[in-house]
Structure 1
Amino acid sequence: MKETILSLCPGPWEDYELIDTGGFEKLERFGKFILSRPEPQAIWDKSLPDSEWKKLAHAYFAKEKNNPEKGHWQQLKSMPHHWQIQYANSEGLKMKLNLAQTSFKHIGLFPEQAVNWDYLYQKVKAFPGKSPKVLNLFGYTGAASVACRAAGAEVSHLDSVKQVVTWTKHNMESSGLEGIRWIVDDAMKFIKREERRGNRYQGIILDPPAYGRGPDGEKWILEEQINEMLKTCRAILDPKDHFLLLNMYSLSFSSLIAANLIQSNFGNVKNAEQGELYLEEKQGKKLPLGIFYRFSSY
Protein backbone atom coordinates (compact mmCIF):
# COMPACT_ATOMS: atom_id res chain seq x y z
CA MET A 1 0.00 0.00 0.00
CA LYS A 2 1.46 3.35 -1.07
CA GLU A 3 0.49 6.49 0.81
CA THR A 4 1.19 10.12 0.12
CA ILE A 5 2.69 11.59 3.28
CA LEU A 6 1.61 15.16 3.95
CA SER A 7 1.83 17.90 6.53
CA LEU A 8 -1.30 19.97 6.08
CA CYS A 9 -2.05 23.51 7.23
CA PRO A 10 -5.15 25.56 6.36
CA GLY A 11 -4.61 28.42 3.96
CA PRO A 12 -5.41 32.07 4.71
CA TRP A 13 -8.69 32.38 6.62
CA GLU A 14 -10.18 35.80 7.22
CA ASP A 15 -11.95 34.84 10.44
CA TYR A 16 -9.15 32.82 12.07
CA GLU A 17 -5.52 33.50 12.95
CA LEU A 18 -2.95 31.79 15.20
CA ILE A 19 -1.03 34.74 16.61
CA ASP A 20 1.54 33.14 18.93
CA THR A 21 2.31 29.91 20.79
CA GLY A 22 4.60 28.85 23.62
CA GLY A 23 4.73 28.18 27.33
CA PHE A 24 2.03 25.50 26.84
CA GLU A 25 -0.41 28.11 25.53
CA LYS A 26 -1.75 29.47 22.23
CA LEU A 27 -3.09 32.90 21.32
CA GLU A 28 -5.77 32.82 18.60
CA ARG A 29 -8.17 35.20 16.86
CA PHE A 30 -11.66 33.94 16.08
CA GLY A 31 -13.42 36.67 14.13
CA LYS A 32 -13.07 39.88 16.15
CA PHE A 33 -12.08 38.18 19.41
CA ILE A 34 -8.70 36.94 20.66
CA LEU A 35 -8.40 34.07 23.13
CA SER A 36 -5.54 32.57 25.11
CA ARG A 37 -5.89 28.83 25.76
CA PRO A 38 -3.76 25.96 27.09
CA GLU A 39 -1.88 23.93 24.45
CA PRO A 40 0.16 20.91 25.66
CA GLN A 41 2.13 20.70 22.40
CA ALA A 42 3.52 24.25 22.67
CA ILE A 43 6.56 23.34 24.78
CA TRP A 44 8.76 26.18 23.47
CA ASP A 45 8.97 29.84 24.53
CA LYS A 46 6.48 32.45 23.39
CA SER A 47 7.66 34.91 20.75
CA LEU A 48 5.64 37.78 22.23
CA PRO A 49 5.97 38.88 25.87
CA ASP A 50 3.21 38.03 28.35
CA SER A 51 2.32 41.70 28.51
CA GLU A 52 1.49 41.66 24.79
CA TRP A 53 -0.67 38.55 25.20
CA LYS A 54 -2.64 40.27 27.98
CA LYS A 55 -2.94 43.42 25.89
CA LEU A 56 -4.31 41.51 22.89
CA ALA A 57 -6.52 38.87 24.53
CA HIS A 58 -10.22 39.36 25.20
CA ALA A 59 -10.20 36.30 27.50
CA TYR A 60 -7.95 33.53 28.71
CA PHE A 61 -8.69 30.06 30.04
CA ALA A 62 -7.58 29.40 33.62
CA LYS A 63 -7.13 25.69 34.34
CA GLU A 64 -8.25 23.97 37.51
CA LYS A 65 -5.34 22.74 39.63
CA ASN A 66 -6.67 19.21 39.99
CA ASN A 67 -8.07 18.84 36.48
CA PRO A 68 -6.13 20.51 33.65
CA GLU A 69 -8.93 19.77 31.19
CA LYS A 70 -11.43 21.87 33.11
CA GLY A 71 -11.37 25.47 34.27
CA HIS A 72 -12.99 28.82 33.67
CA TRP A 73 -12.62 31.82 31.39
CA GLN A 74 -11.20 35.08 32.72
CA GLN A 75 -12.54 38.04 30.77
CA LEU A 76 -9.99 40.78 30.01
CA LYS A 77 -12.11 42.76 27.54
CA SER A 78 -15.77 42.88 26.71
CA MET A 79 -16.92 40.10 24.38
CA PRO A 80 -20.06 37.99 23.96
CA HIS A 81 -20.30 34.47 25.35
CA HIS A 82 -21.64 33.26 21.98
CA TRP A 83 -20.50 34.52 18.57
CA GLN A 84 -20.14 33.38 14.94
CA ILE A 85 -17.39 33.14 12.37
CA GLN A 86 -17.47 32.21 8.70
CA TYR A 87 -15.47 29.72 6.67
CA ALA A 88 -15.32 29.64 2.87
CA ASN A 89 -13.04 28.05 0.32
CA SER A 90 -12.38 28.63 -3.38
CA GLU A 91 -14.52 25.64 -4.44
CA GLY A 92 -17.82 26.96 -3.11
CA LEU A 93 -17.99 25.73 0.47
CA LYS A 94 -19.48 28.38 2.78
CA MET A 95 -20.24 27.79 6.45
CA LYS A 96 -21.27 29.97 9.37
CA LEU A 97 -20.09 28.40 12.64
CA ASN A 98 -21.27 29.16 16.17
CA LEU A 99 -18.66 29.52 18.91
CA ALA A 100 -18.91 29.73 22.70
CA GLN A 101 -16.65 29.64 25.74
CA THR A 102 -16.93 26.25 27.48
CA SER A 103 -15.58 24.89 30.77
CA PHE A 104 -13.35 22.46 28.85
CA LYS A 105 -11.28 25.21 27.10
CA HIS A 106 -12.89 24.34 23.75
CA ILE A 107 -15.01 26.84 21.84
CA GLY A 108 -16.71 24.54 19.32
CA LEU A 109 -14.13 24.60 16.54
CA PHE A 110 -10.81 22.96 15.66
CA PRO A 111 -9.34 25.27 12.99
CA GLU A 112 -6.70 22.78 11.78
CA GLN A 113 -9.56 20.59 10.53
CA ALA A 114 -10.33 23.09 7.75
CA VAL A 115 -8.08 21.07 5.42
CA ASN A 116 -10.31 18.06 6.04
CA TRP A 117 -13.51 20.08 5.52
CA ASP A 118 -12.12 20.95 2.08
CA TYR A 119 -11.25 17.29 1.41
CA LEU A 120 -14.71 16.06 2.40
CA TYR A 121 -16.44 18.73 0.33
CA GLN A 122 -14.36 17.73 -2.70
CA LYS A 123 -15.01 14.01 -2.21
CA VAL A 124 -18.77 14.44 -1.94
CA LYS A 125 -18.85 16.74 -4.98
CA ALA A 126 -16.80 14.25 -7.02
CA PHE A 127 -18.71 11.16 -5.87
CA PRO A 128 -19.49 8.80 -8.79
CA GLY A 129 -23.22 8.29 -8.63
CA LYS A 130 -26.07 9.64 -6.54
CA SER A 131 -25.53 11.49 -3.28
CA PRO A 132 -23.35 9.45 -0.90
CA LYS A 133 -24.48 8.46 2.58
CA VAL A 134 -21.93 9.83 5.07
CA LEU A 135 -21.60 8.86 8.73
CA ASN A 136 -19.75 11.25 11.04
CA LEU A 137 -18.81 9.44 14.26
CA PHE A 138 -17.71 11.46 17.30
CA GLY A 139 -19.08 14.37 15.28
CA TYR A 140 -18.66 17.08 17.96
CA THR A 141 -20.07 20.42 16.71
CA GLY A 142 -20.19 19.16 13.18
CA ALA A 143 -18.27 21.41 10.79
CA ALA A 144 -17.36 18.22 8.86
CA SER A 145 -21.03 17.21 8.76
CA VAL A 146 -22.06 20.66 7.53
CA ALA A 147 -19.34 20.58 4.84
CA CYS A 148 -20.59 17.21 3.56
CA ARG A 149 -24.20 18.36 3.61
CA ALA A 150 -23.28 21.55 1.76
CA ALA A 151 -21.80 19.36 -0.98
CA GLY A 152 -25.03 17.35 -1.25
CA ALA A 153 -24.39 14.27 0.90
CA GLU A 154 -26.99 12.45 3.03
CA VAL A 155 -25.36 12.98 6.42
CA SER A 156 -25.81 11.10 9.70
CA HIS A 157 -24.13 12.95 12.57
CA LEU A 158 -23.44 11.06 15.81
CA ASP A 159 -22.21 12.28 19.16
CA SER A 160 -22.79 11.02 22.69
CA VAL A 161 -23.67 14.47 24.09
CA LYS A 162 -27.11 15.87 23.24
CA GLN A 163 -26.05 19.49 23.77
CA VAL A 164 -23.21 19.07 21.26
CA VAL A 165 -25.60 17.63 18.67
CA THR A 166 -27.84 20.66 19.25
CA TRP A 167 -24.78 22.87 18.62
CA THR A 168 -24.25 21.11 15.28
CA LYS A 169 -27.88 21.73 14.36
CA HIS A 170 -27.32 25.45 14.95
CA ASN A 171 -24.26 25.33 12.68
CA MET A 172 -26.31 23.65 9.96
CA GLU A 173 -29.13 26.17 10.22
CA SER A 174 -26.74 29.15 10.41
CA SER A 175 -25.14 27.87 7.19
CA GLY A 176 -28.52 27.86 5.44
CA LEU A 177 -28.82 24.07 5.29
CA GLU A 178 -31.19 21.36 6.49
CA GLY A 179 -31.63 17.60 6.42
CA ILE A 180 -28.81 16.21 8.58
CA ARG A 181 -29.83 13.12 10.57
CA TRP A 182 -29.07 13.54 14.29
CA ILE A 183 -27.99 10.62 16.49
CA VAL A 184 -27.22 10.76 20.23
CA ASP A 185 -25.61 7.40 20.94
CA ASP A 186 -22.46 5.50 21.79
CA ALA A 187 -20.42 5.29 18.58
CA MET A 188 -19.36 1.65 18.96
CA LYS A 189 -22.85 0.43 19.85
CA PHE A 190 -24.35 2.32 16.90
CA ILE A 191 -22.02 0.94 14.24
CA LYS A 192 -22.39 -2.60 15.62
CA ARG A 193 -26.15 -2.24 15.14
CA GLU A 194 -25.64 -0.85 11.64
CA GLU A 195 -23.50 -3.89 10.80
CA ARG A 196 -26.21 -6.27 12.00
CA ARG A 197 -28.82 -4.36 9.99
CA GLY A 198 -26.71 -4.55 6.84
CA ASN A 199 -26.59 -0.77 6.44
CA ARG A 200 -23.80 0.71 4.33
CA TYR A 201 -22.25 4.15 4.01
CA GLN A 202 -20.19 5.59 1.19
CA GLY A 203 -18.32 7.94 3.51
CA ILE A 204 -17.19 7.54 7.13
CA ILE A 205 -15.56 10.21 9.27
CA LEU A 206 -13.90 9.28 12.58
CA ASP A 207 -12.48 11.87 14.94
CA PRO A 208 -12.32 9.98 18.25
CA PRO A 209 -11.08 11.52 21.51
CA ALA A 210 -8.35 9.89 23.56
CA TYR A 211 -10.90 9.28 26.30
CA GLY A 212 -14.65 9.66 26.41
CA ARG A 213 -18.01 8.48 27.68
CA GLY A 214 -21.15 7.38 25.87
CA PRO A 215 -24.61 8.68 26.84
CA ASP A 216 -25.06 5.78 29.27
CA GLY A 217 -21.55 5.96 30.71
CA GLU A 218 -19.92 3.66 28.15
CA LYS A 219 -16.15 4.01 28.39
CA TRP A 220 -14.06 4.94 25.34
CA ILE A 221 -10.27 4.55 25.42
CA LEU A 222 -8.70 5.26 22.03
CA GLU A 223 -5.81 2.79 22.01
CA GLU A 224 -7.98 -0.04 23.36
CA GLN A 225 -10.96 0.34 21.03
CA ILE A 226 -9.97 2.06 17.78
CA ASN A 227 -8.89 -1.21 16.15
CA GLU A 228 -12.26 -2.87 16.84
CA MET A 229 -14.07 0.24 15.64
CA LEU A 230 -12.22 0.23 12.32
CA LYS A 231 -13.04 -3.47 11.85
CA THR A 232 -16.72 -2.61 12.14
CA CYS A 233 -16.34 0.45 9.91
CA ARG A 234 -15.00 -1.80 7.17
CA ALA A 235 -18.15 -3.91 7.41
CA ILE A 236 -20.43 -0.87 6.92
CA LEU A 237 -18.31 0.96 4.30
CA ASP A 238 -19.50 0.49 0.72
CA PRO A 239 -16.89 -1.76 -0.94
CA LYS A 240 -17.29 -0.14 -4.35
CA ASP A 241 -17.52 3.66 -4.00
CA HIS A 242 -16.26 5.08 -0.73
CA PHE A 243 -14.05 7.43 1.24
CA LEU A 244 -12.89 7.37 4.85
CA LEU A 245 -11.22 9.97 7.04
CA LEU A 246 -9.57 9.12 10.36
CA ASN A 247 -8.33 11.86 12.72
CA MET A 248 -6.54 11.16 15.98
CA TYR A 249 -5.26 13.64 18.53
CA SER A 250 -3.03 11.87 21.04
CA LEU A 251 0.45 12.98 22.10
CA SER A 252 1.67 9.38 21.89
CA PHE A 253 0.33 8.57 18.40
CA SER A 254 2.12 8.94 15.07
CA SER A 255 0.61 8.69 11.60
CA LEU A 256 2.38 5.32 11.25
CA ILE A 257 -0.05 3.95 13.84
CA ALA A 258 -2.96 5.18 11.74
CA ALA A 259 -1.40 3.62 8.62
CA ASN A 260 -0.97 0.26 10.36
CA LEU A 261 -4.57 0.34 11.61
CA ILE A 262 -5.93 1.07 8.13
CA GLN A 263 -3.75 -1.54 6.42
CA SER A 264 -4.66 -4.30 8.90
CA ASN A 265 -8.38 -3.57 8.66
CA PHE A 266 -8.90 -2.39 5.07
CA GLY A 267 -5.98 -3.92 3.17
CA ASN A 268 -4.56 -2.10 0.16
CA VAL A 269 -6.70 1.02 -0.10
CA LYS A 270 -6.56 3.52 -2.96
CA ASN A 271 -5.63 7.21 -2.99
CA ALA A 272 -4.25 7.02 0.55
CA GLU A 273 -2.89 10.10 2.31
CA GLN A 274 -1.47 10.28 5.80
CA GLY A 275 0.39 12.74 7.96
CA GLU A 276 0.10 15.63 10.40
CA LEU A 277 -2.23 18.56 10.73
CA TYR A 278 -0.71 21.80 11.96
CA LEU A 279 -1.30 25.53 12.25
CA GLU A 280 1.34 28.13 11.45
CA GLU A 281 1.43 31.22 13.63
CA LYS A 282 2.27 34.78 12.63
CA GLN A 283 5.66 34.41 14.35
CA GLY A 284 6.58 31.46 12.08
CA LYS A 285 6.39 28.49 14.43
CA LYS A 286 4.31 25.48 13.40
CA LEU A 287 1.99 23.92 15.97
CA PRO A 288 1.25 20.18 15.43
CA LEU A 289 -2.37 19.33 16.15
CA GLY A 290 -2.98 15.69 15.42
CA ILE A 291 -2.59 13.05 12.75
CA PHE A 292 -4.84 11.91 9.92
CA TYR A 293 -5.29 9.08 7.44
CA ARG A 294 -7.70 9.31 4.54
CA PHE A 295 -8.43 7.26 1.45
CA SER A 296 -11.03 6.92 -1.29
CA SER A 297 -11.95 4.54 -4.09
CA TYR A 298 -11.96 7.40 -6.63
Structure 2
Amino acid sequence: MTQLLTPTFPDYELIDSGDFEKLERFGRFVTRRPEPQAVWHRSLDESKWRELADASFLRTSSSKSDERGEWQCRRTMPDRWTVEYNYGQMNLRMRLALTSFKHVGIFPEQAANWNFIYDRIVEQRERGVAPKVLNLFAYTGGATLAARAAGADVTHVDSVKQVVTWSRENMEQSGLEGVRWIVEDALKFVRREVRRGNRYDGIILDPPAYGRGANGEKWVLEENIAEMLECCAALLDPDHGFLVLNLYSMGLSALLARTALRQTFGTTGHEEFGELYFSDRAGKELPLGTFCRFSRMK
Protein backbone atom coordinates (compact mmCIF):
# COMPACT_ATOMS: atom_id res chain seq x y z
CA MET A 1 0.00 0.00 0.00
CA THR A 2 1.29 3.44 -0.99
CA GLN A 3 1.06 6.63 1.04
CA LEU A 4 1.18 9.07 -1.86
CA LEU A 5 2.40 12.53 -0.87
CA THR A 6 0.98 14.94 -3.41
CA PRO A 7 3.75 17.03 -4.98
CA THR A 8 3.74 20.61 -3.77
CA PHE A 9 3.09 23.40 -6.23
CA PRO A 10 3.49 27.17 -5.87
CA ASP A 11 -0.23 28.01 -5.72
CA TYR A 12 -1.14 25.61 -2.89
CA GLU A 13 0.08 25.00 0.65
CA LEU A 14 -1.35 23.19 3.67
CA ILE A 15 -0.21 25.64 6.34
CA ASP A 16 -1.57 23.91 9.45
CA SER A 17 -4.12 21.30 10.49
CA GLY A 18 -5.73 20.12 13.70
CA ASP A 19 -8.78 20.32 15.94
CA PHE A 20 -10.87 19.19 12.95
CA GLU A 21 -9.84 22.12 10.75
CA LYS A 22 -7.26 22.91 8.09
CA LEU A 23 -5.59 26.18 7.11
CA GLU A 24 -4.67 26.32 3.43
CA ARG A 25 -3.24 28.80 0.95
CA PHE A 26 -4.69 28.86 -2.56
CA GLY A 27 -2.67 31.33 -4.57
CA ARG A 28 -2.58 34.61 -2.62
CA PHE A 29 -5.48 33.77 -0.30
CA VAL A 30 -5.73 31.65 2.84
CA THR A 31 -8.85 29.67 3.77
CA ARG A 32 -9.89 28.01 7.01
CA ARG A 33 -12.17 24.99 6.59
CA PRO A 34 -13.52 22.03 8.58
CA GLU A 35 -11.50 18.81 8.19
CA PRO A 36 -12.87 15.71 9.97
CA GLN A 37 -9.60 13.79 9.56
CA ALA A 38 -7.52 16.37 11.46
CA VAL A 39 -8.01 14.72 14.85
CA TRP A 40 -4.77 16.10 16.38
CA HIS A 41 -4.11 19.59 17.76
CA ARG A 42 -3.04 22.60 15.73
CA SER A 43 0.59 23.68 15.70
CA LEU A 44 -0.28 27.38 15.42
CA ASP A 45 -2.47 29.08 18.00
CA GLU A 46 -5.95 30.47 17.38
CA SER A 47 -4.75 34.05 17.06
CA LYS A 48 -2.35 33.06 14.26
CA TRP A 49 -5.11 31.22 12.41
CA ARG A 50 -7.31 34.31 12.63
CA GLU A 51 -4.47 36.50 11.46
CA LEU A 52 -3.72 34.35 8.42
CA ALA A 53 -7.23 33.40 7.25
CA ASP A 54 -8.78 35.57 4.54
CA ALA A 55 -11.93 33.41 4.56
CA SER A 56 -13.26 31.10 7.30
CA PHE A 57 -16.03 28.55 6.77
CA LEU A 58 -18.63 28.18 9.52
CA ARG A 59 -21.08 25.29 9.40
CA THR A 60 -24.71 26.29 9.90
CA SER A 61 -25.95 22.79 10.70
CA SER A 62 -25.17 20.62 13.71
CA SER A 63 -25.61 17.48 11.61
CA LYS A 64 -22.35 15.76 10.68
CA SER A 65 -23.84 14.71 7.33
CA ASP A 66 -24.77 18.29 6.39
CA GLU A 67 -21.68 20.20 5.25
CA ARG A 68 -23.48 23.42 4.36
CA GLY A 69 -22.42 26.67 5.93
CA GLU A 70 -21.27 30.19 5.22
CA TRP A 71 -18.00 32.02 4.80
CA GLN A 72 -16.77 34.93 6.87
CA CYS A 73 -14.37 36.95 4.74
CA ARG A 74 -12.11 39.93 4.91
CA ARG A 75 -13.04 42.82 2.64
CA THR A 76 -9.99 42.07 0.50
CA MET A 77 -11.20 38.52 -0.22
CA PRO A 78 -12.58 38.28 -3.79
CA ASP A 79 -15.60 36.20 -4.79
CA ARG A 80 -13.46 34.48 -7.42
CA TRP A 81 -9.76 34.05 -8.03
CA THR A 82 -7.45 31.86 -10.09
CA VAL A 83 -4.68 29.37 -9.36
CA GLU A 84 -2.21 27.74 -11.72
CA TYR A 85 -0.81 24.23 -11.93
CA ASN A 86 2.07 23.27 -14.21
CA TYR A 87 3.58 19.88 -15.01
CA GLY A 88 5.44 18.86 -18.15
CA GLN A 89 3.80 20.80 -20.98
CA MET A 90 0.58 21.10 -18.95
CA ASN A 91 -0.27 24.63 -17.86
CA LEU A 92 -3.63 24.75 -16.08
CA ARG A 93 -5.50 27.79 -14.81
CA MET A 94 -8.48 27.06 -12.57
CA ARG A 95 -11.05 29.44 -11.16
CA LEU A 96 -11.78 29.14 -7.45
CA ALA A 97 -14.80 30.36 -5.50
CA LEU A 98 -16.22 29.97 -1.99
CA THR A 99 -19.16 27.53 -2.08
CA SER A 100 -21.82 26.83 0.53
CA PHE A 101 -20.47 23.26 0.93
CA LYS A 102 -16.97 24.46 2.03
CA HIS A 103 -15.36 23.52 -1.30
CA VAL A 104 -13.42 26.04 -3.36
CA GLY A 105 -13.33 24.38 -6.78
CA ILE A 106 -10.34 22.04 -6.70
CA PHE A 107 -9.06 19.17 -4.61
CA PRO A 108 -5.32 19.95 -4.66
CA GLU A 109 -4.32 16.48 -3.47
CA GLN A 110 -5.53 15.24 -6.87
CA ALA A 111 -2.47 16.81 -8.48
CA ALA A 112 -0.76 13.45 -7.94
CA ASN A 113 -3.39 11.86 -10.16
CA TRP A 114 -3.30 14.69 -12.70
CA ASN A 115 0.38 13.94 -13.23
CA PHE A 116 -0.35 10.20 -13.56
CA ILE A 117 -3.10 10.86 -16.12
CA TYR A 118 -0.91 13.23 -18.11
CA ASP A 119 2.01 10.77 -18.19
CA ARG A 120 -0.14 7.80 -19.24
CA ILE A 121 -1.69 9.72 -22.13
CA VAL A 122 1.68 11.01 -23.34
CA GLU A 123 2.91 7.40 -23.20
CA GLN A 124 -0.09 6.16 -25.17
CA ARG A 125 0.39 8.80 -27.85
CA GLU A 126 4.09 7.95 -28.15
CA ARG A 127 3.02 4.38 -28.93
CA GLY A 128 0.60 5.42 -31.64
CA VAL A 129 -2.64 5.40 -29.66
CA ALA A 130 -5.15 8.23 -30.15
CA PRO A 131 -6.41 8.27 -26.55
CA LYS A 132 -10.07 8.64 -25.60
CA VAL A 133 -10.62 9.38 -21.90
CA LEU A 134 -13.81 9.30 -19.82
CA ASN A 135 -14.00 11.38 -16.63
CA LEU A 136 -16.95 10.43 -14.41
CA PHE A 137 -18.24 12.48 -11.44
CA ALA A 138 -15.86 15.01 -12.96
CA TYR A 139 -16.63 18.09 -10.81
CA THR A 140 -14.74 21.20 -12.02
CA GLY A 141 -12.47 19.19 -14.26
CA GLY A 142 -8.89 19.12 -12.99
CA ALA A 143 -8.45 15.59 -14.36
CA THR A 144 -10.30 16.55 -17.54
CA LEU A 145 -7.86 19.40 -18.15
CA ALA A 146 -4.85 17.19 -17.45
CA ALA A 147 -6.08 14.62 -19.97
CA ARG A 148 -6.88 17.23 -22.60
CA ALA A 149 -3.55 19.01 -22.10
CA ALA A 150 -1.80 15.69 -22.78
CA GLY A 151 -3.66 15.36 -26.08
CA ALA A 152 -6.58 13.03 -25.32
CA ASP A 153 -10.14 13.33 -26.58
CA VAL A 154 -12.03 13.77 -23.32
CA THR A 155 -15.64 13.14 -22.31
CA HIS A 156 -16.50 14.95 -19.05
CA VAL A 157 -19.58 13.70 -17.16
CA ASP A 158 -21.18 15.35 -14.14
CA SER A 159 -24.81 15.60 -13.08
CA VAL A 160 -24.60 19.25 -11.95
CA LYS A 161 -24.88 21.78 -14.76
CA GLN A 162 -23.26 24.58 -12.76
CA VAL A 163 -20.02 22.66 -12.18
CA VAL A 164 -19.88 21.60 -15.83
CA THR A 165 -20.10 25.30 -16.72
CA TRP A 166 -17.32 25.94 -14.19
CA SER A 167 -15.22 23.22 -15.84
CA ARG A 168 -15.72 24.80 -19.25
CA GLU A 169 -14.47 28.13 -17.86
CA ASN A 170 -11.38 26.34 -16.51
CA MET A 171 -10.76 24.80 -19.92
CA GLU A 172 -10.97 28.19 -21.62
CA GLN A 173 -8.71 29.84 -19.03
CA SER A 174 -6.17 27.05 -19.60
CA GLY A 175 -6.09 27.73 -23.34
CA LEU A 176 -7.66 24.36 -24.17
CA GLU A 177 -10.67 23.36 -26.26
CA GLY A 178 -12.56 20.37 -27.58
CA VAL A 179 -13.85 18.66 -24.42
CA ARG A 180 -17.16 16.81 -24.76
CA TRP A 181 -19.44 17.99 -21.92
CA ILE A 182 -22.21 15.71 -20.60
CA VAL A 183 -24.69 16.76 -17.88
CA GLU A 184 -26.08 13.40 -16.82
CA ASP A 185 -26.12 10.73 -14.15
CA ALA A 186 -22.78 8.92 -14.48
CA LEU A 187 -24.16 5.39 -14.08
CA LYS A 188 -26.90 6.02 -16.62
CA PHE A 189 -24.29 7.33 -19.06
CA VAL A 190 -21.93 4.35 -18.79
CA ARG A 191 -24.81 1.87 -19.16
CA ARG A 192 -25.65 3.51 -22.48
CA GLU A 193 -22.00 3.57 -23.57
CA VAL A 194 -21.74 -0.18 -22.91
CA ARG A 195 -24.85 -0.82 -25.04
CA ARG A 196 -23.29 1.23 -27.83
CA GLY A 197 -20.08 -0.79 -27.67
CA ASN A 198 -17.86 2.23 -27.09
CA ARG A 199 -14.31 1.97 -25.76
CA TYR A 200 -12.02 4.31 -23.83
CA ASP A 201 -8.26 4.29 -23.28
CA GLY A 202 -8.55 5.88 -19.84
CA ILE A 203 -11.31 6.14 -17.24
CA ILE A 204 -11.30 8.39 -14.16
CA LEU A 205 -13.87 8.06 -11.36
CA ASP A 206 -14.42 10.33 -8.35
CA PRO A 207 -17.67 8.90 -6.96
CA PRO A 208 -19.25 10.56 -3.91
CA ALA A 209 -20.68 8.62 -1.00
CA TYR A 210 -24.15 9.88 -1.89
CA GLY A 211 -25.47 11.90 -4.78
CA ARG A 212 -28.30 12.71 -7.14
CA GLY A 213 -28.24 12.54 -10.92
CA ALA A 214 -29.40 15.28 -13.27
CA ASN A 215 -32.93 13.85 -13.18
CA GLY A 216 -32.97 12.86 -9.53
CA GLU A 217 -31.33 9.45 -9.92
CA LYS A 218 -30.03 8.22 -6.58
CA TRP A 219 -26.36 7.27 -6.13
CA VAL A 220 -25.20 5.34 -3.05
CA LEU A 221 -21.55 4.30 -3.27
CA GLU A 222 -21.83 0.95 -1.50
CA GLU A 223 -24.91 -0.02 -3.52
CA ASN A 224 -23.84 1.19 -6.97
CA ILE A 225 -20.05 0.97 -7.20
CA ALA A 226 -20.02 -2.70 -8.29
CA GLU A 227 -22.22 -2.05 -11.32
CA MET A 228 -20.28 1.12 -12.14
CA LEU A 229 -16.99 -0.80 -12.18
CA GLU A 230 -18.50 -3.59 -14.29
CA CYS A 231 -19.56 -1.01 -16.87
CA CYS A 232 -16.11 0.59 -16.79
CA ALA A 233 -14.49 -2.82 -17.31
CA ALA A 234 -16.57 -3.26 -20.45
CA LEU A 235 -15.55 0.20 -21.69
CA LEU A 236 -11.80 0.16 -20.93
CA ASP A 237 -9.36 -0.92 -23.63
CA PRO A 238 -7.98 -4.34 -22.60
CA ASP A 239 -4.47 -3.78 -23.95
CA HIS A 240 -3.32 -0.32 -22.93
CA GLY A 241 -6.10 1.30 -20.88
CA PHE A 242 -5.60 3.04 -17.55
CA LEU A 243 -8.00 3.72 -14.70
CA VAL A 244 -8.01 6.03 -11.67
CA LEU A 245 -10.51 5.49 -8.84
CA ASN A 246 -10.76 7.88 -5.89
CA LEU A 247 -12.76 7.24 -2.72
CA TYR A 248 -13.31 10.14 -0.35
CA SER A 249 -15.76 8.49 2.05
CA MET A 250 -14.26 8.23 5.53
CA GLY A 251 -13.72 4.65 6.59
CA LEU A 252 -13.40 3.15 3.10
CA SER A 253 -10.09 1.37 2.74
CA ALA A 254 -7.84 1.40 -0.30
CA LEU A 255 -7.90 -2.39 0.00
CA LEU A 256 -11.61 -2.22 -0.79
CA ALA A 257 -10.85 -0.36 -4.01
CA ARG A 258 -8.06 -2.74 -5.00
CA THR A 259 -10.12 -5.88 -4.29
CA ALA A 260 -13.10 -4.54 -6.25
CA LEU A 261 -10.91 -3.56 -9.20
CA ARG A 262 -9.03 -6.87 -9.31
CA GLN A 263 -12.25 -8.86 -9.20
CA THR A 264 -13.89 -6.74 -11.88
CA PHE A 265 -11.00 -6.01 -14.24
CA GLY A 266 -8.91 -9.14 -13.78
CA THR A 267 -5.36 -8.37 -14.90
CA THR A 268 -4.69 -4.71 -14.20
CA GLY A 269 -1.01 -4.49 -15.12
CA HIS A 270 0.97 -1.98 -13.07
CA GLU A 271 -1.19 -0.92 -10.12
CA GLU A 272 -0.91 1.42 -7.15
CA PHE A 273 -3.30 1.81 -4.25
CA GLY A 274 -3.25 3.67 -0.97
CA GLU A 275 -3.84 7.11 0.51
CA LEU A 276 -3.34 10.61 -0.82
CA TYR A 277 -2.03 13.08 1.73
CA PHE A 278 -0.42 16.47 2.31
CA SER A 279 2.04 17.48 5.02
CA ASP A 280 1.58 20.81 6.77
CA ARG A 281 4.42 23.11 7.83
CA ALA A 282 4.87 21.21 11.09
CA GLY A 283 5.13 17.89 9.25
CA LYS A 284 1.71 16.56 10.28
CA GLU A 285 0.45 14.25 7.55
CA LEU A 286 -3.22 14.80 6.65
CA PRO A 287 -4.90 11.92 4.74
CA LEU A 288 -7.25 13.17 2.04
CA GLY A 289 -8.82 10.09 0.52
CA THR A 290 -7.90 6.70 -0.85
CA PHE A 291 -7.06 5.86 -4.44
CA CYS A 292 -6.43 2.91 -6.70
CA ARG A 293 -5.02 3.27 -10.19
CA PHE A 294 -3.53 0.99 -12.81
CA SER A 295 -2.18 1.01 -16.34
CA ARG A 296 -2.21 -1.92 -18.76
CA MET A 297 0.43 -0.35 -20.97
CA LYS A 298 3.39 -2.73 -21.20
- Name the TM-score class by shorter chain: over 0.9
Task: Report the counterpart of residue 178 of structure 2 in structure 1.
Answer: 179
Task: Report the counterpart of residue 198 of structure 2 in structure 1.
Answer: 199
Residue 9 of structure 1, aligned match among 5, 11, 19: 5
The whole-number CA distance in structure 1 between the counterparts of 2:8 and 2:112 is 11
**Kept in 2: contact 1:158–1:183 (CA 8 A):** yes
The whole-number CA distance in structure 2 between the counterparts of 1:33 and 1:229 is 38
Shift of 1:240: 1.9
Task: Report the counterpart of residue 215 of structure 2 in structure 1.
Answer: 216
Q: What is the alpha-carbon root mean square deviation over aligned residues?
A: 1.0
- The amino acid that maps onto 1:265 is T
Q: Equivalences for 1:117-156 in 2 at 5 Å?
A: 117-127=114-124, 128-156=127-155
**Kept in 1: contact 2:61–2:67 (CA 8 A):** no
Shift of 1:121: 0.3
The whole-number CA distance in structure 2 between the counterparts of 1:9 and 1:262 is 22
**Kept in 2: contact 1:58–1:79 (CA 8 A):** yes
- The amino acid that maps onto 1:73 is W
Shift of 1:77: 4.7
Shift of 1:6: 1.5
- The amino acid that maps onto 2:25 is R
- The amino acid that maps onto 1:203 is G
Residue 33 of structure 1, aligned match among 23, 29, 33: 29
1:126 is paired with a residue whose SS is helix
- The amino acid that maps onto 1:250 is S
Q: Which runs of 5+ in 2 are unaligned?
A: none
Q: Which runs of 5+ in 1 are unaligned?
A: none
1:149 is paired with a residue whose SS is helix
Q: Does residue 1:113 correspond to 2:104, yes or no?
A: no
Q: Which moved more, 1:10-19 or 1:168-177?
A: 10-19
**Kept in 2: contact 1:57–1:77 (CA 8 A):** no
1:232 is paired with a residue whose SS is helix
Task: Report the counterpart of residue 98 of structure 1 in structure 2.
Answer: 95
Task: Report the counterpart of residue 164 of structure 2 in structure 1.
Answer: 165
Task: Report the counterpart of residue 296 of structure 1 in structure 2.
Answer: 295
Q: Does residue 1:70 correspond to 2:68, yes or no?
A: yes
How high is the TM-score relative to the length of structure 1? Answer: 0.96
- The amino acid that maps onto 1:115 is A
Task: State the identity %.
Answer: 56
The whole-number CA distance in structure 1 between the counterparts of 2:218 and 2:260 is 21
The whole-number CA distance in structure 2 between the counterparts of 1:64 and 1:211 is 20
Shift of 1:102: 0.4
Shift of 1:267: 1.1
How high is the TM-score relative to the length of structure 2? Answer: 0.96
The whole-number CA distance in structure 2 between the counterparts of 1:147 and 1:74 is 32
1:275 is paired with a residue whose SS is strand
